[in-house]
């Protein structure tokens, strides 16, 4: 009995509660499946569907791949805040269970148009592409309900003073998926076939469903959202008005939007930075991504264990500013080893930003409004990212294309100039938060 009690206490020290441990385990498996699925789709389109008789990808392959990214992003803009209204009305655990089942079914059905040798028909390329876009769009639409419901559920099963640790553990699972997923995706696709990659992702949703079923949610009285539930527009506007009138959320929105404007450029131009600035093969992007993921995982694990030692606001601000400084140095790296030395620390700073963001946001939002507020926040972040991606591509291809020179001993070109502007955006968001955000320290009781 003593050994068993000690084991539960050790589990709680790491995973906070038994319910959060099950939730974390399910999301870790699901995140790994998503990472494999997302890259598998891109490789499937570029190397299989768009493959010509000479072995090369067709000229329309980049557009076809971009269609997947658009299908993922559109539901954030179309349904994010609207889904939040229903998430705030519905039972959070049941919402997650149903959306997991729907996503599992959608991925499973996509096997029917995969062109598998086990099936008696061979769909055309057009049918396959349409099915991929439709499936991705619907899965992403389900995620608009699942993600805010998960955030709200964490707020119900985890005490406020443990939110930073919970956020850190969530970041660990995301980092593990980003590290393990890409190396697995291509071998699964070419070694076993697309149908097995799809079925594996469907299985991860089932595993997530089973873990979520074991989560025990404490009974609490509903304090808001129980009157006038038929007035959808009123509830929708209540979430929008609260989001933009709350002082802390106003600041967080500005920080997220400005930071996302910088992050979008980073994500869209990294491959060109590797080929043009570091003068390496495009495959080295995967190496940098992997090292970044390792830095994020290590940072998330350390920070989640030390969540009771720091002021959440100060850590959030410091992480943004440090990320800006490190990325400015990274932007002007001209040697692979220099970039490789900097990027794990960028991952650590990113982990600190993510871990401290959710306690700040959840601490400012009543439980009855979490779905609507998070839906609004996600939509604004995605919109800023899409704007950044579009603007970065335009600048790199047109206005900044002929930039070549040096400044203070640093070589200047189109990509590093845009990356410098991204670093400046991080500085702006960090200094803005420094001037406006109130201090908030989470004191965690000794277990």
CB 250: neighbour CB atoms within 10 A?
A: 14
Burial code (b: 16+ CB inside 10 Å, e: under 16) for 351-389 equals bbbbbbbbbbbbebbebbbbbbbbbbbbbbbbbbbbebb
Could you say which residues of the chain have pLDDT below 70?
Answer: 1-15, 52-59, 62, 117, 182, 186, 219-230, 268, 282-283, 307-308, 400-411, 438-447
Domain count, the chain: 2
What digits encode the pLDDT tens for the residues 231-242?
Answer: 777 887 887 888
Could you tell me if 57 and 18 lie in one domain?
yes
pLDDT of residue 15: 67
Could you tell me if 385 and 273 lie in one domain?
yes
Evaluate whether residue 159 is within a structural domain: yes
Evaluate whether residue 232 is within a structural domain: no
What digits encode the pLDDT tens for the residues 382-410?
Answer: 888 778 777 877 777 777 666 665 555 56
pLDDT of residue 228: 46
Evaluate whether residue 220 is within a structural domain: no
Q: Which of 148, 182, 214 is the last residue of a domain?
A: 214
pLDDT of residue 1: 46
Q: Dihedral through CA 92, CA 93, CA 99, CA 102, nearest 10? A: -150
Evaluate whether residue 230 is within a structural domain: no
Evaluate whether residue 395 is within a structural domain: yes
Could you tell me if 315 and 364 lie in one domain?
yes
| DSSP string covering 153-191 | HHHHHS-GGGHHHHHHHHHHHHHHHHHHHHHHHHHHHHH
Copy the structure tokens of residue 344: 């794990």
The residues with which 412 forms a beta bridge, in sequence order, are 405
Could you tell me if 409 and 367 lie in one domain?
yes
Could you tell me if 166 and 255 lie in one domain?
no
Evaluate whether residue 155 is within a structural domain: yes
pLDDT of residue 207: 92
Copy the structure tokens of residue 162: 């443990």
Could you tell me if 280 and 418 lie in one domain?
yes
Evaluate whether residue 430 is within a structural domain: yes
Evaluate whether residue 35 is within a structural domain: yes
| DSSP string covering 361-389 | HHHTS-GGGHHHHHHHHHHHHHHHHHHHH
pLDDT mean across residues, the chain:
79
Could you tell me if 34 and 121 lie in one domain?
yes
Could you tell me if 261 and 322 lie in one domain?
yes
Q: Which of 152, 183, 214 is the last residue of a domain?
A: 214
Helices (H) and strands (E) in the chain, counts: 14, 2
Could you tell me if 209 and 245 lie in one domain?
no
Residue-number span of the structural domain to which 21 is assigned: 7-214
pLDDT of residue 307: 64
CATH of the domain at 328: 1.20.1250.20
The number of CA neighbours under 13 Å toward the Cβ of 387 is 13
């Amino acid at each position: 009995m003593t050994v068993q009690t000690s084991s539960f206490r050790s589990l709680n020290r790491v995973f906070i509660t038994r319910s959060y441990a099950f939730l974390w385990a399910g999301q870790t498996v699901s995140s790994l499946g998503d990472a494999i699925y997302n890259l598998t789709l891109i490789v499937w389109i570029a190397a299989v569907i768009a493959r010509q008789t000479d072995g090369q990808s067709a000229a329309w392959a980049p557009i076809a791949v971009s269609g997947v990214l658009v299908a993922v992003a559109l539901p954030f803009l179309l349904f994010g805040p609207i889904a939040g209204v229903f998430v705030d009305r519905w039972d959070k655990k049941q919402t997650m269970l149903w959306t997991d089942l729907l996503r599992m079914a959608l991925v499973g059905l996509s096997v029917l148009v995969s062109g598998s040798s086990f099936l008696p028909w061979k769909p055309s390329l057009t049918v396959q592409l349409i099915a991929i876009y439709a499936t991705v769009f619907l899965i992403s639409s389900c995620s608009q309900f699942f993600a805010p419901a998960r955030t709200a559920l964490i707020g119900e099963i985890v005490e406020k003073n443990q939110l930073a640790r919970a956020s850190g553990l969530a970041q660990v699972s995301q980092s593990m998926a980003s590290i393990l997923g890409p190396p697995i995706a291509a071998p699964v696709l070419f070694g076993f076939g697309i149908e097995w990659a799809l079925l594996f992702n469907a299985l991860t949703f089932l595993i997530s469903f089973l873990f979520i079923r074991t989560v025990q949610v404490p009974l609490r009285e509903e304090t808001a959202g129980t009157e006038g539930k038929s007035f959808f527009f009123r509830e929708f506007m209540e979430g929008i008005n609260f989001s933009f009138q709350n002082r802390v959320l106003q600041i967080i929105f500005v920080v997220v939007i400005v930071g996302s404007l910088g992050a979008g450029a980073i994500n869209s131009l990294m491959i060109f930075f590797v080929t043009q600035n570091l003068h390496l093969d495009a495959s080295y992007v995967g190496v940098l991504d992997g090292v970044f993921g390792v830095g994020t995982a290590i940072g998330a694990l350390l920070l989640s264990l030390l969540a009771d030692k720091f002021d959440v606001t100060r850590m959030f601000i410091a992480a943004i500013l440090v990320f800006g400084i490190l990325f400015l140095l990274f932007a002007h790296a001209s040697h692979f080893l220099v970039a490789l030395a900097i990027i794990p620390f960028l991952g650590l700073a990113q982990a600190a930003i993510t871990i401290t963001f959710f306690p700040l946001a959840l601490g400012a939002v009543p439980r009855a409004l979490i779905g609507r507020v998070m839906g609004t926040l996600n939509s604004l972040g995605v919109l800023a990212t899409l704007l950044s991606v579009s603007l970065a591509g335009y600048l790199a291809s047109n206005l900044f294309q002929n930039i070549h020179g040096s400044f203070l001993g640093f070589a200047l070109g189109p990509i590093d100039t845009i990356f410098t502007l991204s670093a400046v955006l991080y500085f702006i968001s960090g200094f803005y938060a420094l001037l406006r955000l109130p201090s908030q320290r989470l004191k965690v009781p000794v277990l």
